[in-house]
Amino acid sequence: MGKITNRQIQLAARPIGEPKKEDLILIEEEITSPAEGQLLLQNRFLSLDPYMRGRMNPSKSYAKAVEVGEVMTG
C-alpha cells in the first residue's frame, strides 16, 4: 500500500456568533498501513448537521462539547 494521508477537521477556536473559516483547521498526516487483521476505511460522504454548531460551545448540552484541538465528529 502506498502513502496514506489522513485528513481531519479540528476545532481551532470556539466561534463567537457564526462560525468562521478560522474556527476550523484542516490537518493532514501520514498514517501507516493497516497491520495484519486490520482494515482501512475511506469515507465517501460526510454530513454537516446543525447540532454540530452546539458542540462547538463549552456549555452543557445533550452532546459532549468538542474541545479546541479535537476532531469535529458528526
Total tally of structural domains belonging to the chain: 1
pTM of the prediction?
0.81
Query: What pLDDT band is residue 60 in, cutting at 50, 70 and 90?
Result: confident
| Sign of the CA dihedral with 3 first, then 6, 12, and 15 last | positive
Give the 3-state secondary structure of residue 41.
Answer: coil
pLDDT recorded at residue 26: 97
Considering the domain boundaries, does residue 65 fall inside one? no
63 in a structural domain: no
Residue 61 has pLDDT above 90, yes or no: no
The whole domain housing 8 covers 4-55
Q: Is 44 inside a domain boundary?
A: yes
Q: Is position 71 within any domain? A: no
DSSP code of residue 36:
T
